[in-house]
A and B are shown apart, each in its own frame.
Chain A
């Protein structure tokens, strides 16, 4: 599985946008970029995924660089409830199965 690199931690203020970066310079053309998050004392939770184009859903937006070597998860207005560890995970297009979690980025949100 291709490797991802994320900052260990980030801080944000409540109601401001948050941009969480992920580098994946060895990504292959058929790897999907997935984001999950883990709220304190809870199981991981799916956030969003994409392949080449930017994606939006009710939780977040995913901006994918043109060369696909990096991506950014965007929370448009951070709330206190968004404080969590965010994981960027690559998945081969025809591979289901296990998720390989790294250390992720711990996001703290200040009121």
Chain B
């Protein structure tokens, strides 16, 4: 069964450093997402991406964050200058049918980001 993959599984970084989290969505999917989950809290939407541009972003997704689909398979989340409060699990997801309430999102296993 196709699956979303994410690398690395765990990233440790120093405050102020840039990090890039990588995702490979399911190959025929068109809609891509990033979510995050701070330890013990609920899953929060960050950004959605369709047709090579951001479709929607949350208040969390400020100028320190950016997303990119650099080639036909990868989808990346960059945090330019990490803060302690960016420590969280980051989940990538993809779906096949944008714009429909029936679409199913498939999530990756997550990258645990620890900012020291």
A interface with B by C-beta (< 8 Å): 30-32, 38, 42-46, 49, 91-104
Contact = CB atoms under 8 A, between A and B. Distances in A.
A93 B36 CA distance: 25
A102 B43 CA distance: 8
B75 interface: no
B42 A49 contact: no
Contacts, number: 67
Contacts of A101: 42-44
B113 interface: no
A11 to B, nearest CB: 20
Interface of B: 4, 31, 33, 35, 42-45, 48, 55-56, 58, 91, 93, 95, 97-110
Contact of B91 (A44, A100, A102): A44
A49 B109 contact: no
A101 B46 CA distance: 12
B105 A94 contact: no
A62 to B, nearest CB: 13
Given A96-B31, A97-B48, A102-B42, A42 B110 contact: yes
Residue in B56, B91, B98, B100 whose Cβ sees the most chain A Cβ within 10 Å: B100
B32 to A, nearest CB: 11
B65 to A, nearest CB: 15
